[in-house]
Amino acid sequence: MADLESDLSFQLHENLSIGRVPQWILTDPGIYELEVQRVFASNWYFLGHESEIPNPGDYVSRWYVNDPVIVSRGNDRKINAFLNSCTHRGTMLCSADFGNKANFICPYHGWTYSLEGKLNGIIAGDKIYGTEMDRSEWKLRKLPRLETYHGLIFASLNENVVPLDEYLGNLKWYFDILLGRSDKKMQVKGVPFRWVVEANWKIGSDNFGGDAYHTAMTHRSTVELGIAPKDPMFASYGHQVVLDNGHGLNVITPSPVAPKVPPFQGLPEVMWPMFERNLTEGQLEVFRNTAVIDGTCFPNLSFLSPMHGTGGHAHLTNFLTLRQWRPLGPGKMEIWSWFLADVEAPEEFVQESYKRYVNTFGPSGVLEQDDAEIWSRITSASKGLMARDKTLSYNNVMNYVMGLDSVEPDPNWPGPGIAYPTCYLEAVQRAFYEKWHECIAKD
Amino acid sequence: MTITDSGRIQIETYLEICQFLYFEAELLDDRRFEEWLGLLTEDVQYRMPVRVTKEKADGSDIEEPSSYFEDNLVTLTSRVARLGTKSAWADDPPSRTRHFVSNILVQPGADSSEYLVTSALNFVRNRGSICVSDQLTGKRKDILRRVQGDLKIASRDVYLDQVVLGTPNLITLF
Ligand code: FES
Ligand SMILES: [Fe+2]
């Protein structure tokens, strides 16, 4: 892995500080290699949600970029994450997406591991192995760190990564609203959607993290249909909040010229007392007046909690989706999309919520479709000599100057972070790229 | 199903159903989406349950509750209306698509006006100047109903063979 040359690193830093992002970082294979090591392996990486593996023996197969991982629940109910590979010759142990097992048996020579990863069984072990093997040295290989927050399972390949709590930092205050508002919290419904898009993973993080500005144009078809308001500023109302460690979000409030939306994103009234129990005054104030929350947990976990109807402004229904932009190379990613609902939400509401999710933000979603299409057009236009020129002699930088040094934070914002009083801003994206640069510039 | 079950279907009916499905495919590939809507019953249910990779012992690899489409006539009509807007970027410039339909089997339905029809779908989508086409294959389970003499789609479930979709979006209908 070639290091980032110090003059390039300096140039990146200089440009980022004035809202310019060199276009070559979207398609450069060298940068991609650095990202795998220094962005993904060094930080916390999202693997799934606890509700996907409720019982002992339950497992899901996931990918930590290119490492196959078994995320499973042991008999002690604790969650483990193992490299999905036998310690004998490296065979993949679980090739299904999920299931329930009493132990993991390798199909090659039959080595058998407990749910906790202990090498328990070896075919004819007593006859063929003597003192040359101490079984305790051949356990399944655990990912060095695993921690959870409100059911979100994160792992890290970096033994020395800061605790998850500290890493999430002030994003937790907003995760409390999205994931911790109910007594029994949230659960994943169904299996995640997965699809492949020819786009750089950073574009997904950048778009969900802060790009409210794209909605009026990218999703103009929904404006033409009368599903979204005509006011070109409709996604600008509210606050863009820059958080710790490259995290950030938009808290979008209803357009003052559009019909009113009910409190708490229209979630059923029977749930409100629960929110009042679990959230602070400040969190309630924010949540009560919100239409849409979208954001990114650095590096590649995004979240979206909007309200959508079947047409017009009737029956706007909220849903929560988590997104992972799993990189498959500099110009390609696999999108994973989960749907979550409050455990206590009325079943009828959950069904309607799921339908709105599928209809707007699944691979067939009438909003989603256009995002992926346009992101792939960025890749198509960023592979040539001009876009990839590292001396930037063709002005091959992307423009992130919106609101740079001209929008002041709102001192009255009740939540943590630096909150600017508009969502048409690129402060979150600038902070994302600065954190990204800090990671890849590090030795 | 046995061959005898399908034997209860008149050959004329079978041919009529084949012709209906080919005509439907042609409407979709020729981008005559409004006309396609005319092939649906008012109470149509349109789904595409998610396929997963599972061990054999764990049973069906179809996750019925998860679906890429959860549509009825209202939402399908708004999808078609969207394709008619000037800003459905995922479809503009339009992809070139081909719905190949085969393996058509017909059984009697719940009453004499309905037929249970299964077919294989090979969907090919070519975009821009990319030589390699995106491909989705799968099985469709339809309920066709005769409404005032005409066949209509009362229900469709599409079961794709892909677990990870190799196309950036499901822009058209299947
Ligand atoms: S590779 Fe797994 S037992 Fe040999
Ligand atoms: Fe979007």
CATH of segment(s) A170-441 = 3.90.380.10
Residues of B near A (Cβ–Cβ under 8 Å) read 48, 50, 52-55, 58, 63, 65-71, 74-75, 78-79, 81-82, 85-91, 163-171
- Type and span of the H or E element at A304: strand A301-305
| Partner residue opposite B78 with nearest CB, options A96, A195, A225 | A225
Number of residue pairs across A and B with CB atoms under 8 Å? 117
Mean pLDDT of chain B: 95
SS3 category, A236:
coil
- pLDDT of A65 higher than 80: yes
Residues of B in contact with A354 (CB under 8 A): 70
CATH 3.90.380.10 domain residues, chain A: 170-441
pLDDT tens digits along A94-113? 999 999 999 999 999 999 99
Partner-chain contact B87 A224, CB within 8 Å: yes
- What is the least distance, in Å, from the CA of B62 to any CA of chain A? 11
Partner-chain contact A311 B78, CB within 8 Å: yes
pLDDT score, position A227:
77
For the residues A87-97, what does the mean pLDDT come to?
Answer: 98
Question: Could you tell me the distance, in angstroms and rounded to a whole number, from the CA of residue A107 to the centre of ligand 1?
Answer: 7
Q: Is A121 in the pocket of ligand 1 (CB under 6 A)?
A: no
pLDDT score, position A311:
66
Kindly identify which residue of chain A lies nearest to residue B58, measuring between CA atoms: A99
Residues of A in contact with B91 (CB under 8 A): 369
Q: Is A203 in the pocket of ligand 1 (CB under 6 A)?
A: no
Residue with tokens 């199903």: B1
pTM assigned to the model: 0.96
pLDDT tens digits along B7-60? 578 999 999 999 999 999 999 999 999 999 999 999 999 999 999 999 999 999
Q: Is A442 in the pocket of ligand 1 (CB under 6 A)?
A: no
Decide if A107 touches B, using CB distance below 8 A. no
- Select from 3.40.50.1010, 3.10.450.50, 3.30.450.40, 3.20.10.10 the CATH code of B3-160: 3.10.450.50
pLDDT score, position A333:
98
For the residues B81-106, what does the mean pLDDT come to?
Answer: 96
Looking at the CA of A221, name the nearest ligand: 2
Name the residue with the closest Cα to ligand 1, atom 4: A109
CA distances from B38 to B77, B115, B118, B150, B157 (A): 10, 18, 21, 10, 18
pLDDT tens digits along A300-309? 999 999 998 8
For the residues A321-345, what does the mean pLDDT come to?
Answer: 98
Q: Is A88 in the pocket of ligand 1 (CB under 6 A)?
A: yes
What whole-number distance in Å separates Cα of residue A152 and Cα of residue A247? 16
User: How does DSSP assign A57-119, residue by residue?
Assistant: TEEEEEEETTEEEEEEE-TTS-EEEEESS-TTT---S--SSEEE-SEEE-TTT--EEETT--E
Q: Is A86 in the pocket of ligand 1 (CB under 6 A)?
A: yes
- Look up the ipTM and state it: 0.95
pLDDT tens digits along B36-50? 999 999 999 999 999
- pLDDT of B86 higher than 60: yes
Looking at the CA of A206, name the nearest ligand: 2
User: Is residue B3 very low, low, confident or very high in pLDDT (cuts 50, 70, 90)?
Assistant: low
Nearest atom within ligand 1 for CA of residue A111: 3
SS3 category, B109:
coil
Report the candidate in A148, A177, A178, A185 with the shortest Cα–Cα distance to residue A163.
Answer: A148
Decide if A225 touches B, using CB distance below 8 A. yes
Partner-chain contact B68 A193, CB within 8 Å: yes
Question: Which residues does B41 contact at the CB level (< 8 Å), separation at least 6?
Answer: B73, B145, B147, B152, B153, B154
Between the two ends of chain A, the Cα-to-Cα distance in Å is 11
Residues of A in contact with B170 (CB under 8 A): 362-364, 369
Instruction: Look at the domain A45-160 and name its fold.
Output: Rieske Iron-sulfur Protein (2.102.10)
User: Percent of chain A beyond pLDDT 90?
Assistant: 88
pLDDT score, position B157:
98
Decide if A340 touches B, using CB distance below 8 A. no
For the residues A409-419, what does the mean pLDDT come to?
Answer: 98
Question: Which residues does A175 contact at the CB level (< 8 Å), separation at least 6?
Answer: A149, A150, A152, A168
pLDDT score, position A223:
87
Name the residue with the closest Cα to ligand 1, atom 3: A109
Orientation angle between helical segments A281-288 and A171-179, nearest 10 degrees: 70
- pLDDT of A443 higher than 70: no
- pLDDT of B6 higher than 60: no
pLDDT score, position A194:
98
